[in-house]
Amino acid sequence: MLFLCDHISLRTSARIEILDITDRIRDMFARNRIQNGQMTICSTHTTAFVALNESEPLLQRDMIDFLTTLVPCDAKYRHNLNPVDGRPNAHSHLLGLFMNASETILVSNGELLLGGWQSVFFIELDGPREERTLRVQLAGER
């Protein structure tokens, strides 16, 4: 069994942002030619996450509206009284309770097994940020 590790660097431009990274994931997968196994994409952050969902612009706007309504950024959170990095981002951490830090996609016969409507998203909850990092591991057979 072969294990390959790589990363994706991202820059975000909004407080809450949903970036479709499917093409970048497919390109990384194609370069490594795994036939059978799995690909895991993992966020290295506590306020940014990975998700599989449908890539449709109006749905993505609905998602952002839902997140901002679910946990408003301007509520009185104790964490914001003394944030460790100077950013009043308690809302971002609270939203993260409902999200995944990683997603695993199965690989069979040289293909990523994404559903017909599935895309891979990086979800920023505490932007904008100059640099965000995703770790990617491919495990399998060539």
Domain locations in the chain?
Answer: 2-141
106 confidence band (pLDDT: 50, 70, 90)? very high
pTM of model > 0.85 = yes
Superfamily of domain 2-141: YjbQ-like (2.60.120.460)
Distance between CA 124 and CA 75 in Å, rounded? Answer: 19
**φ/ψ (deg, to 5) at 118:** -85, 135
The alpha-carbon radius of gyration of the chain (Å, integer) is 16
pLDDT of 33 above 90: no
Amino acid found at 54:
E
Q: How many CB atoms lie within 10 A of CB 107?
A: 21
Half-sphere exposure of 134 (CA within 13 A, CB side): 31
